[in-house]
Amino acid sequence: MTTAVASRFNRLTHKEALMEADARETWLVDGLISATSTLVYGEAKVGKSFLMSAMIAALVSGDDYLGRSVPQDRELSVAVCWTDDGGAGDYASQIRGVLPEEVQPPVDYYMLPAMRCHDDWQALYEEVISNGNTLVVIDNLTQALNGSINHDEPVRDFFDGVRLFTRSGIPVVIVGHSSDKSGDSGWKSDKPMGNSAISQSVRWRCFVKRSRKGNLTLTFSGNYAESHEITVKHGAGARFEVIDEKSADTLKSAGEAKKRDRDSSKLAEVEEMADWIVENAPAGSSQRDVAGLLADKFGGSAGTYQSSLSRRDLSGLVRKDAHGVWVRR
C-alpha cells in the first residue's frame, strides 16, 4: 500500500503538465509584454516610465499599445509598485494624461521599500491579491533589491518574490537600467545592468534606447519569440507613435550586412598595414621590432600586432625573404 505524500514541489503528472501548457497564455500584449515576466530596461530618463504609463492606460481602456491590440476579454487591475520619490504621483499624472477625463482607471499604487526578506514579498503578494490586482509593475529593480545589483543573492531573492505573482497567473513587468559599460568607440551596452541572472530570470525583455533623431528604439527578445524591433516617436507625456518596425528576418539581414562591412573594413585595414610593413620595415627587423613600429604608426598594442604577424591576419600577408627583407606573400 502506497501512502500519499503532500508535494512540496508542486508535482504534476505529465498529463496535468500538458493541460497547463495548453491553457497557459503566452502574451499579455502580443510580442511586447509576456503573460509571465517582462524586463523593460534602458538608460536613466530614456522614457521607460512613460512607456509603462502608456501600457497601463492602453490595458485599462482597451486601446492599442504600440500598434498592438490589448486583451478585450479580461478586466485588468494594475498594481504599480514604485520606489522613486513621488513615483505614485508621476505615474498617476502620466496615465491621466492619455485617458479621457471621466475615466478612473483601476490602478493601485504601492510604495516599495528594499524587499529585505521573503516575508516582505509575501506581505506584498497578499495585499495585491486582496485588492484584486491582476497585473504588477515594479519600477524599479535596483531600488527594490536588498543589496548590490551585481551580487547573486539579492537578485535571486528579488525574483523569488516575483515568482509568487507569476506562478499565480499574475504578469509582472519590471523596470530596470541598462549596463553603463561602453566600448572604446562609445558604443553602449544593450545588456541589463547588474548580475547576469537578471536576464536569465525573465521570460521576455525590452531594451529601450534613444536614437540620434530623438526617437526611441525598442528591441524585444527572450524565450517566447524571435527578436524584433519597434521605433516610436515620443509625443506629449505618455503618448507614442510607431514610426518603424523591423522583423526578426530584417534584423538578421541587417546584422549580417554589418558583419560583412566590418570584415571588409578590417581586411582593408590589414592590407594597408601589410603594404606599410613592406615599404617601411628595415631589412632584418624581427616580428617584435615590426610590431613596435606598427603600434607607433597605427596605435594599439605591440603585443597584438606581434600576434597578428606570427599566427593571425598579418602572417598571411607578409613574410621575410632569404635576405631578411619584408615582402608580400
The residue type of 91 is Y
Task: Decide: helix, strand or coil at residue 59.
Answer: helix
C-alpha 275 chain-centroid distance:
43
Q: Is 47 helix (H, G, I), strand (E, B) or coil?
A: coil
- What pLDDT, on a 0 to 100 scale, did the predictor assign at position 182? 64
Q: Specify the length of the chain in residues.
A: 329
Residues facing 216 on adjacent strands: 210, 232
pLDDT given at position 294: 93
Residues of the chain with pLDDT under 50: 184
Nearest residue to 285 via CA among 251, 231, 230, 326: 326
Q: Would you say 247 and 287 are in contact if contact means Cβ atoms under 8 Å apart?
A: no
- Rounded to whole angstroms, the Cα distance separating 296 from 298 reads 6
Of 302, 308, 317, nearest to 272 by C-alpha is: 317
Helix (H) or strand (E) holding 273: helix 248-280
Alpha-carbon gap, residue 183 to 280, rounded angstroms: 32
- Asked if 178 and 43 touch (Cβ cutoff 8 Å), the reply is yes
Beta bridge partners of 137: 80, 173
Q: What's residue 2's pLDDT?
A: 57
Q: Is the peptide bond before 133 cis (omega within 30 degrees of 0)?
A: no
* Angstrom distance (rounded) from CA 216 to CA 209: 6
> Distance between CA atoms of 16 and 324, rounded to whole angstroms?
76
Residue 261 CA to residue 201 CA, distance in Å, equals 35
For 27-52, the pLDDT digits (tens) are: 999 999 999 999 999 999 999 999 99
The pLDDT of residue 213 is 85
Q: How far apart are CA 22 and CA 220, in angstroms?
A: 24
Give the rounded distance of the alpha carbon of 167 from its chain centre. Answer: 22
N-term to C-term CA, the chain: 82
Residue with the three cell numbers 516610465: 49
At 188, list the grid cell: 553602449
DSSP state of 282: P
Name residue, grid cell 504588477. Answer: 136
| Tens digit of each residue's pLDDT (9 = 90 or more) over 127-174 | 999 999 999 999 999 999 999 999 999 999 999 999 999 999 999 999
Cis amide linkage into residue 140, ω under 30° from 0? yes
Strands 228-234 and 216-222, how do they pair? antiparallel
Record the pTM. 0.76
